[in-house]
Each structure stands twice: as C-alpha cells, then as structure tokens.
C-alpha cells in the first residue's frame, strides 16, 4: 500500500526526470544539434542550447548559493510555466525545428528527441495510473 510519504515509483521517476534529468539531456542534445548543423539551423540550435543551459543553471543555483540572485527569481518563475514542462518543451521544439531549417543535419538527433518524448509520455501515463 502506497502512502503519502511513499509515492509509487512512476511518480518518483517522473519527479526525478522533471527536476533533474530533462535540462541536462536537452543541453547535450542541443550541443549535438549545434555541432552538426550549419547556417540558420545552427543559430536556432545555439539559442535552444542556451535556453537549456539557463535551465541547468536554475536547477543548480540553490546548490551553489545563488537562489537570492535577481536572475534566479525570474528564471525560476519561467521554469515553472506549465507545471515545469513548458520551458523544456520549448527547448525541445527549438532543437527539433533546427533540424528542419536549411543547413539542418543529424536525423539521429530527431530520433533521440522522439524517443525521449515517447519515454516521457509513457512515464507520465504510468504516473497518472499509479
């Protein structure tokens, strides 16, 4: 029997993914996209990667004592949009669109993004059922 202090594993996994794993994985994916693309596609990939880097900084700011900084309050507020899923969705969409612009390369990155979105949807469904 699950209690309030012992939530089911899909809920814990979804919380971990949302709070810890999404932005670093998107940052690495954006770096890969920026490395293989050229022209306008690289520009969009770099912007998406910078947004992911800001997400990583927001995630790590309390650990390094930056939670009182002016930039942190605004960035943390933006990171909470849509229950914490809007910012990563915008970053992932930017990375995906960069692959379709002129100069876009690396279809394997699209496969990684699709697999990640599918895994996240499955985890979300499992958490809702738990």
HEC string of 11-58 equals HHHHHHHHHHHHHHHHHHHHHHHHHHCCCHHHHHHHHHHHHHHHHHHH
- CB atoms under 10 Å from CB of 76, counted, come to 14
Angle between helices 107-129 and 86-98 (to 10 degrees): 160
Please give the mean pLDDT across all residues of the chain: 92
pTM value is: 0.89
Query: Which pLDDT score, from 0 to 100, does residue 1 have?
Result: 56
Residue 62 has pLDDT above 70, yes or no: yes
Model confidence band, residue 2 (pLDDT cutoffs 50, 70, 90): low
List pLDDT tens digits, range 77-126: 988 899 889 999 999 999 999 999 999 999 999 999 999 999 999 999 99
Phi-psi label, residue 70: left if phi above 0, alpha if psi -120 to 50, beta otherwise? alpha
121 CB-near residues (< 8 Å, 6+ apart): none
- The pLDDT of residue 6 is 86
- 3-class secondary-structure state, position 6: strand
Query: Is the predicted pLDDT of residue 55 greater than 90, yes or no?
Result: yes
pLDDT at 3 over 80: no
Domain ranges of the chain: 13-129
* Alpha-carbon torsion angle 25, 29, 32, 38, nearest 10: -150
The pLDDT, as a whole number, for residue 27 is 98
Contact 99, 37 (CB under 8 A): yes
């Amino acid at each position: 029997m699950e209690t309030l202090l012992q939530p089911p594993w899909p809920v814990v996994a979804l919380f971990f993914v949302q709070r810890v794993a999404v932005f670093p994985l998107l940052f690495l994916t954006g770096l890969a996209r920026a490395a293989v693309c050229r022209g306008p596609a690289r520009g969009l990939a770099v912007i998406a990667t910078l947004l992911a880097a800001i997400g990583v900084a927001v995630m790590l700011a309390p650990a390094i004592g930056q939670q009182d900084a002016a930039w942190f309050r605004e960035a943390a507020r933006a990171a909470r949009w849509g229950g914490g899923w809007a910012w990563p969705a915008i970053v992932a969409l930017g990375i995906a669109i960069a692959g379709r612009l002129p100069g876009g390369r690396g279809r394997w990155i699209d496969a990684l993004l699709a697999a990640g979105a599918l895994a996240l949807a499955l985890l979300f469904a499992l958490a809702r059922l738990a």
